[in-house]
Each structure stands twice: as C-alpha cells, then as structure tokens.
Amino acid sequence: MTPDRWPSLPLAEWNDTRETLHRWTQIVGKTRLSLTPLVNHWWNSTLYVSARGLTTGTIHSGDVALEIEMNLVDHTLEIRSSKWQTIRLPLVAQSVADFYREYVDSLRTLGVELHISASPNEVEDATPFAEDRKHCSYDPEHANRFWRILSESDRVFRIFRARFVGKASPSHFFWGAMDLAVTRFSGRRAPRHPGGAPHCPDYVQTEGYSHELTSAGFWAGTPGMLDEPAYYAYAYPAPAGYADERVAPESAYYSKEIGEFIMPYETVRLSAAPDDTLLEFLQSTYEAGAKLLKWDRASLERSSPGPVT
C-alpha cells in the first residue's frame, strides 16, 4: 500500500515524540554549524530534506568528509565518512542524554571531536543535552509522517523558489524552531532585529534578519502557541497594513499573537489539488509583503521557468 503523501499529523498525538526529535535535530544541526563557515542568515546551520529524512549534506572535519542523515524511513541515524565505515544508530525511544552520548562517541570513533553549545535553543526547556532524560519518546509512525509532510512541502517550496530570480534561500530545515522554510529578499538592508527568542543570543536574529525579506514555511506547531501543524508566512520588517491584506485560500488568516499569516495544514491535506493550494498561499502572502514593501518585482520575478534542454 502506498503511504499517504499528505498524512494526518495532529499535534496532540505526537507532541512527546516531536519534542524529543526536535532536540535530536538540534544536536545534528549544531554539528553542521560547528564544521562549516558562516553563510549569511545562518544558512550553513540548516538541514535539508533528503529522500529518506533530514541530512546535513557534505560537511568536513579536517581531511574527513561527513554526511549525517536522520533516516526517518528506516529509523536510523547514519553517519557516513569518506575515510571510515558508516555508523548507524537506531532511532528508538530513548532519552536525549543517551542519544547525545552515543552520537558523540560515534563521531569520536570516526576521528571527529564534537565542539558545540550543548543545550537546545529557541525552546523554553533548555536542559543540556547530556542531562536531558525527560524527553525520551519516539514513535516511528509519527516521525515518518512528519518527514513525508516535509518532503512534499519541500517539493512545492522548490517550485515556488524557482519563480524568483532575486536572492532567495534554499528550501531548508531550521532546527531552532523545527520548521521548513524558504525566504526571498529584496536586496535592501532591514532595521536591526531586536532578538528575543528563548535561550538564543540576540545576534542570531540580528544576522538572520539583516536584510528585507518575505518568508514562508511549514511548522508542526507548538502547544500553547499553535496547536496544529500549519504553513506560515511573514515579512520583515512588517509593513504598515500587512495584517489587513487579503490572502488565499479562504482558510488562511493573520495571527496577531504570532505576527504571521497562518494556513492550517489540514487545508492542504484535504484539498483536491494540494500543490495548487499551497502555492496559492505562498504566492498571495509573498505578494502582500512585496507590494507593501515596494519591491522591484519586475526585476525579481519570473512567472514560469522554462525547461533546460
């Protein structure tokens, strides 16, 4: 039986797994951050959706090339090295502390010493990884559903990104907030961002929001903030009147509490044409920001990239 490409993922059903998986992705993401040069807006820190999960892509430690993948199909953490064998650690219900210990030991086996800030960012509970025994859940079915949503969203985000010829991010996974995002830029500097994310230095947001942008992404949700998975979109700096803009589809709305446009994931999942529904949200929210920020859209956009022959 072919798995559902847009599966259900109610937050309440998998939140314990989500919180554990979130911290595991932070450990892997911080590894990439520590072994790569800074790229504007911290793009060197992100993970990418792969054919089976989330990956660092190729990173380097001295003369060793590595790729670390969280395989959410076979439920293994795979550390592949250019010099030594592949190490596979099972993704099972275990504490963050146990995961972290095995992960550090595995890297050391490959000749890589891990040097990271060893506690999570952008979450209220910032217990150091080595001490965290509270977060210990892993349901493989829900983890796989999460990846399937990321995979389909990533595919559509790439279509959307291809319509823009200005500076744009790849479609990539930010482990701080556990969201998949794609961002467009006007080319102009932005006002200094004030920061304020929990357990995260303000300079992180200052660098991330150094230039004027519109951004959209998929977020699995967070209890008490957004109690369901959803797509989001925002502009920085948010122009006057932005919250009053009409966007599509009809289920999309502006959340004053979050400061972003929100479209429930269920709108896409239940749509007769999920790709079109998601692209409608991405395009209409982008146009709202670009119009009010007075972007030079004629020089930044193309409607339909042609085939390469």
The tens place of each residue's pLDDT in the chain, 309 residues long, gives 456 999 999 999 999 999 999 999 999 999 999 999 999 999 999 999 999 999 999 999 999 999 999 999 999 999 999 988 899 999 999 999 999 999 999 999 999 999 999 999 999 999 999 999 999 999 999 999 999 999 999 999 999 999 999 999 999 999 999 999 999 999 999 999 999 999 999 999 999 999 999 999 999 999 999 999 999 999 999 999 999 999 999 999 999 999 999 999 999 999 999 999 999 999 999 999 999 999 999 999 987 655 554
Distance CA 208, CA 190 (A): 10
| 232 close to 216: Cβ distance less than 8 angstroms | yes
Q: What are the extents of the domains in the chain?
A: 11-140, 149-300
Give the length of the chain: 309
Residue with tokens 């992705």: 25
Residue with tokens 């150094």: 210
